[in-house]
Structure 1
Amino acid sequence: MAENYQNTLEYAQKMDQEDPLKKYRNEFHIPIIDGQQVIYYTGNSLGLQPKRTRSFIEKEMKDWELFGVEGHFNKKKENIWYKYHEYGKDAIAEIVGAKPIEVVPMNNLTVNLHLLLVSFYRPTAKKFKIIVEKGAFPSDQYVFESQLNFHAFHGGQKLFDPQEALVEIAPREGEDTLRTEDIIATIEEHQNELCLVMMGGLQYYTGQFFDLKKITKAAHKVGAYAGFDLAHAAGNIELKLHDWDVDFASWCTYKYLNSGPGNVSGVYVHERFANDKSLPRFAGWWGHDEKERFKMEKGFIPMEGADGWQLSNTNVLGHAAHYASLEIFKEVGMKALRKKSVLLTGYLEFLINEFNKQEKIFEILTPKEPENRGCQLSLYLLKYGKPLFDELMKRGVLGDWREPDVIRLAPVPLYNTFEEQYLFIEKLREAVEALK
């Protein structure tokens, strides 16, 4: 489609008019800051609020008012709280390409990564290494660091060196993104000591989407588990976690899944572990067999599937906000969402390249191939630096600054438009002129 893009307002408006998802922009509250409606490019940090969210939360507030604790079981209530974690499973499974038994909404992302590593990072003196991408999101880095330090010593004896155990893969010199063949080569190089491959599914800084299927296959070939942090992939990229044979994954829901600041996370555990009681885990009573739960007895019996990793009872109000957004995803479907995403991100890329012909100020770090990226472009500034970002902010462009010199822009297909991409370039031109 790139050769058909046109750098005109009329073209952008025509694309919006023909967009089969155009009505969904009106499903969201678009921020107005300093009196102007912003061009919102930060759905990769916090998705916008669906207008229906308030009614979902209000319903549970009313039920709390009417039923009190009986909201957990009262059959007059549409969705009893005791089963509340189950109601979004079909939608979540469709978004990440899984079976309902393999997914559950619970906790927060970093909590879930730690819980999953209890089960899937089981180092020995011989096999103890974790392969990660260099420059992983800081929270992931802290997870790896603390897990390695926790496991390195056993019974007063040092099993392995934590510094040696973390294998970080960096792009080749002069390149910005990782090559799949280099990831696989690193897995093979460390196969005798490799315990786990644990990467971000979509790299938060560059916007690169990794080949999860090939990475998982390579990890399994050498007897290692493969898990992924999908914070920037869930609701953004078409995923097929079950078919790709991924062992486990987790994600947040407040970015592309529009569920509210700091809201609930999601977990995926492959079906083959559904009834594996031998897997160690940190248990809680909501992960215990619900038929036995209120006997309040010792002896943990895990629920089947991902549910068995739950700890506490469901945060109903948080889940209600999550389900409001999931309802939109059920209506739209990931295929339609992804189709628009490829066009919209491609159009922004086209316009930036056109602008660069006049004055080259950006280098796009994100891969050019649509299959290797989501709806994010990471722009490395060759000149002007942070003052340019600040000038854009003054003009109502709400992007995201990452040190040292990167602006991340995420044109989200549910609520961003083609016309906004065109208007961004106009505002960019104004901002550059203000700095000259």
Structure 2
Amino acid sequence: MKFENSLEIARKMDSEDELAKYRHQFIFPQVNGKDVIYFVGNSLGLQPKTAKNYVNEIMQDWANLGVEGHFRAEKSWWDYHERFSGKLAKIVGAKASEVTVMNTLTVNLHLLMVSFYRPSGKRFKILCEEKAFPSDQYMLSSQVRLHGYQPSEAIVEVRKREGENNFRTEDILKKIEEVGEELALVLIGGVNYYSGQVFDMESITKAGHEAGAIVGWDLAHAAGNVKLKLSEWNVDFAAWCSYKYMNSGPGNASGCFINEKYHNIKDMPRMEGWWGHNKDRRFLMEPEFQPEPDANAWQISNAPVLALAPYLASLEMFDEVGMPALIKKRNRIVAYLEFVLHEIDKEVDSTFEVITPSNQNERGTQISVFLHGEGRELFNYLMKNGVYIDWREPNVIRLAPAPFYCSFEDVYNFGQILKRGITEIHS
């Protein structure tokens, strides 16, 4: 169908959308008595209506069974985290044995660095992208200092070319080759949080390995959003949060991928804890650590089941729908959003610059837009009129129409509110 910036066409596309029914399985905030247009799934996904049931189930088991809920609950607590591995494996392109869920994202990155950042001799440098998400920057800096290095000498940043909004894959590959035998680790965000650019993870992983380095990925903005093939790409490790595209709730648990080539290594350097100990022998209280035979060897403490419950509720929907269907709708709704932005740009006294790549293979759900000539006043107008978006200084808005719950009518209505806001502000 040819795109048109009209309510009729938007509603027609919604009528053809196979995922439209899932919109009604989420709870929307309201402004002025109406559901908001929610384009911030890249920051915090909406609450699935089933999430409360999953939490209440645990609360009821706790009330009725007490400590016996660990073993007698229908979803027993002692192995609750194991219910995630198969479902998450499909989302990130891995084997179930390579995936676990625990802690939170930056905590897991720190823990994984214990295993995978092992500087030795002249091989001590870490390559990351310029202006990585601040938490990653803090994590990397503190890790290299722990090993006695200064961030200025140990951290190598790949930069964008002057005047360009996105990184070039060839520049990343060239930098990997340039650092060469000094490179210990490549750790990059799979999707750049600011621009929404999706990195060529396959090529970068291959180049990192050819240089003799370990390669890991922060998939905070990638998991549940873009196609991933971590096993096939031979990624060494990865971690992601669950509260963005996977709708698990604020600050919720993180997922981890550890390539199977690192399993069943008893003396693998890592932070060890009770829940990573051989499950069949865990309650024998043995003094010597015997690791689980899979990614669960990196578990430390028993699972926070109340936190995991809404995550599991959301994953049930992911398992039902599958990433191919989500990506199919994502591509269409994001393309329509880009079209509407360009149409509105023609009608108003303003200039929009989309800084996210237009190539579908280089972007996910997010579109980032420079609003030249506009300030935070426009952002405030949109929020007050029921459009939830994200503002980044100096004047960039990030828009993420998550395919599970956003509609084409949302996109059309956003365009109309955006046009009214610019017109009123400039009048």
- Relative to the length of structure 1, the TM-score reads 0.96
Q: Which residue number in structure 1 is paired with residue 397 of structure 2?
A: 407
Q: How far off its partner does 1:367 sit?
A: 0.6
Q: Which residue number in structure 2 is paired with residue 155 of structure 1?
A: none
Q: How far off its partner does 1:197 sit?
A: 0.2
Q: Which residue number in structure 2 is paired with residue 372 of structure 1?
A: 362
Distance, in Å, in 2 between the alignment partners of 1:98 and 1:338 is 18
- Residue in structure 2 matching 1:284, options 261, 265, 273: 273
| Secondary structure of 2:345's aligned partner | helix
The Cα offsets for residues 245-266 of structure 1, whole Å up to 9 and x where unpaired, read as 1100000000000000111110
Distance, in Å, in 2 between the alignment partners of 1:93 and 1:415 is 23
| Secondary structure of 1:190's aligned partner | helix
The Cα offsets for residues 125-153 of structure 1, whole Å up to 9 and x where unpaired, read as 3100000000111100000010011012x
Distance, in Å, in 1 between the alignment partners of 2:291 and 2:50 is 35
Distance, in Å, in 2 between the alignment partners of 1:384 and 1:273 is 51
Distance, in Å, in 2 between the alignment partners of 1:260 and 1:295 is 35
Distance, in Å, in 2 between the alignment partners of 1:278 and 1:178 is 38
1:49, 1:259 within 8 Å by CA — same for their partners in 2?
A: yes
* RMSD, aligned CA: 1.0
| Secondary structure of 1:196's aligned partner | strand
1:88-99 mapped onto 2 (5 Å cutoff): 88-99=84-95
Distance, in Å, in 1 between the alignment partners of 2:84 and 2:150 is 42
1:171-320 mapped onto 2 (5 Å cutoff): 171-320=160-309
1:331-370 mapped onto 2 (5 Å cutoff): 331-359=320-348, 360-370=350-360
Q: Supply the AA of the counterpart residue of 1:70.
A: E
Q: How far off its partner does 1:37 sit?
A: 1.8
- Residue in structure 1 matching 2:381, options 376, 381, 391: 391
1:115-134 mapped onto 2 (5 Å cutoff): 115-134=111-130
Q: Which residue number in structure 2 is paired with residue 44 of structure 1?
A: 42
2:374, 2:395 within 8 Å by CA — same for their partners in 1?
A: no
Q: Which residue number in structure 1 is paired with residue 66 of structure 2?
A: 68
| Secondary structure of 2:221's aligned partner | coil
Moved more, 27-36 or 304-313: 27-36
Q: Supply the AA of the counterpart residue of 1:306.
A: A
Q: How far off its partner does 1:298 sit?
A: 2.0
Does residue 21 of the first structure (1) align with residue 19 of the second (2)? yes
Q: Which residue number in structure 2 is paired with residue 56 of structure 1?
A: 54
Distance, in Å, in 2 between the alignment partners of 1:161 and 1:150 is 9
Q: How far off its partner does 1:88 sit?
A: 1.7
Distance, in Å, in 2 between the alignment partners of 1:199 and 1:279 is 23
Q: Supply the AA of the counterpart residue of 2:368.
A: S
Q: How far off its partner does 1:163 sit?
A: 1.1
Q: Which residue number in structure 2 is paired with residue 11 of structure 1?
A: 9
Q: How far off its partner does 1:33 sit?
A: 2.7
Distance, in Å, in 2 between the alignment partners of 1:84 and 1:45 is 26
Q: Which residue number in structure 2 is paired with residue 157 of structure 1?
A: none
Q: How far off its partner does 1:34 sit?
A: 4.0
Q: How far off its partner does 1:65 sit?
A: 1.0
In structure 2, the gaps of 5 or more residues are none
| Secondary structure of 2:356's aligned partner | coil
| Secondary structure of 2:358's aligned partner | coil
The Cα offsets for residues 360-390 of structure 1, whole Å up to 9 and x where unpaired, read as 4211111110110110001112112111111
Distance, in Å, in 2 between the alignment partners of 1:94 and 1:47 is 20
2:189, 2:219 within 8 Å by CA — same for their partners in 1?
A: yes
Give the paired residue count. 425
Q: Supply the AA of the counterpart residue of 1:16.
A: D
Q: How far off its partner does 1:21 sit?
A: 0.6
Q: How far off its partner does 1:432 sit?
A: 0.5
Distance, in Å, in 1 between the alignment partners of 2:217 and 2:395 is 27
Distance, in Å, in 2 between the alignment partners of 1:229 and 1:264 is 14
Q: Which residue number in structure 1 is paired with residue 142 of structure 2?
A: 146
Q: Which residue number in structure 2 is paired with residue 169 of structure 1?
A: 158
2:355, 2:369 within 8 Å by CA — same for their partners in 1?
A: yes
Q: How far off its partner does 1:82 sit?
A: 1.1
The Cα offsets for residues 17-64 of structure 1, whole Å up to 9 and x where unpaired, read as 000111000000011134332100111110000001111111111111
Q: Supply the AA of the counterpart residue of 1:99.
A: K
Q: Supply the AA of the counterpart residue of 2:139.
A: V
Q: How far off its partner does 1:292 sit?
A: 2.2
Does residue 420 of the first structure (1) align with residue 416 of the second (2)? no
- Relative to the length of structure 2, the TM-score reads 0.98
In structure 1, the gaps of 5 or more residues are 153-159
2:101, 2:253 within 8 Å by CA — same for their partners in 1?
A: yes
The Cα offsets for residues 267-317 of structure 1, whole Å up to 9 and x where unpaired, read as 000111111223200111101111222222222221112101111001111
Distance, in Å, in 1 between the alignment partners of 2:121 and 2:259 is 27
After the TM superposition, which parts of structure 1 deviate over 3 Å for at least 4 consecutive aligned residues?
none
Q: Which residue number in structure 2 is paired with residue 112 of structure 1?
A: 108
Q: Supply the AA of the counterpart residue of 2:78.
A: Y
Q: Which residue number in structure 2 is paired with residue 430 of structure 1?
A: 420
Distance, in Å, in 2 between the alignment partners of 1:341 and 1:276 is 40
Distance, in Å, in 2 between the alignment partners of 1:111 and 1:234 is 17
The Cα offsets for residues 88-142 of structure 1, whole Å up to 9 and x where unpaired, read as 2111110111111000110000000000000000012310000000011110000
Distance, in Å, in 2 between the alignment partners of 1:162 and 1:235 is 32
Distance, in Å, in 2 between the alignment partners of 1:36 and 1:204 is 29
Does residue 382 of the first structure (1) align with residue 380 of the second (2)? no
| Secondary structure of 1:84's aligned partner | coil
Distance, in Å, in 1 between the alignment partners of 2:318 and 2:258 is 21
Distance, in Å, in 1 between the alignment partners of 2:422 and 2:157 is 37
| Secondary structure of 1:88's aligned partner | helix
1:384, 1:435 within 8 Å by CA — same for their partners in 2?
A: no
Q: How far off its partner does 1:161 sit?
A: 3.9
